[in-house]
Amino acid sequence: FDVEVGLDFLVSDLLEAEKYLQEEADGVICTKYLAWALLMRCYLMQADFAGVSSYGSRIIQSNKYQLCPDYTDIFKSSNKEILLSFPVDDENNLPFNQLIQKGPEMPVIRYAEILLLTAEANMRENNTYEAIQLINQVRARNNRSLLNEDASENDVQVALLEEWKTDLLKEGVWFFALKRFGLAEHTLQMPGYMTLLPIPGHEILVSRNMTQNPGY
């Protein structure tokens, strides 16, 4: 099984899905914008930076989403930063889900990630000025010092990784950002083989010709 084959399959499915998804949520979970956001994730893993920028620009220019002025508000259900979330609670179980389900919202994809994905794609295409503008939107919300317009590519990368780590804390994206920049082993003090996660044992048992990733 090849990672690129899997990514190609995901991209194909998402491109097909966007034909049928509506733009307005209106009580549904999946929208055209969510499909675009997922495509951005796939394209960044495929190093298709033009694709990331294209879909990022569509979402940004739609004006459907915006950063919450107060970072703590992103865990509330009624805000314009969330593209997809689900409710969680310390008592998140079947009775809770059926009877209450009023816990805080756990973001899956939100507008800050769209800005950072688009910024990273622009930076990698040497559109440093555009990347700085996008990163500064997130930094301003988080009350951090803004990048100067003439910031070096290294300064832009450092600021970008800082936002991947802190703004999207515990949202499962920083590790993959470190991998994209080749910094996972050094930053996390881990052996190289661990940058590729292990295949669950059950999947190996039920799938033919599948072998565990090296090192596990």
Exposed, middle or buried, 71 (CB in 10 Å: 0-12/13-18/19+)?
middle
d(C-alpha 80, C-alpha 63), whole Å: 10
> How far are the Cα atoms of 79, 175, 177, 181, 201 from residue 191, in angstroms, in the given order?
40, 14, 17, 16, 21
Q: Are 37 and 31 in contact (CB under 8 A)?
A: no
Q: Are 115 and 107 in contact (CB under 8 A)?
A: no
Confidence label for 3 from pLDDT (cuts 50, 70 and 90): confident
| Residue 86, beta-bridge partner list | 106
Question: What does 18-74 look like in DSSP terms, one character per residue?
Answer: HTT--SS-TT-S--HHHHHHHHHHHHHHTT-HHHHHHHHHHHHHHT-----SSGGGG
The DSSP symbol for 169 reads T
Mean pLDDT across the chain? 89
- Output phi, psi for 185, to 5 deg: -60, -45
CA geometry: angle at 169 spanning 78 and 192, to 5°? 145
Token pair listed for 4: 């690129």
End-to-end Cα spacing for the chain? 17
Read off the pLDDT of residues 78-108 as tens digits, 9 standing for 90 and up. Answer: 789 999 887 665 555 555 455 445 556 778 8
Read off the pLDDT of residues 108-154 as tens digits, 9 standing for 90 and up. Answer: 899 999 999 999 999 999 999 999 999 999 999 999 999 999 999 99
pLDDT reported for residue 89? 59
Note the helical H segments in the chain: 3-18, 32-45, 49-62, 94-99, 111-124, 128-141, 153-166, 174-180, 184-188, 201-206
pLDDT reported for residue 179? 94
Angle between helices 32-45 and 3-18 (to 10 degrees): 160
Q: Which domains does the chain have, with CATH numbers?
A: 3-206 (1.25.40.390)
pLDDT reported for residue 52? 98
Of all residues in the chain, the percent with pLDDT exceeding 90 is 72
Identity at 114, one-letter amino acid code? I
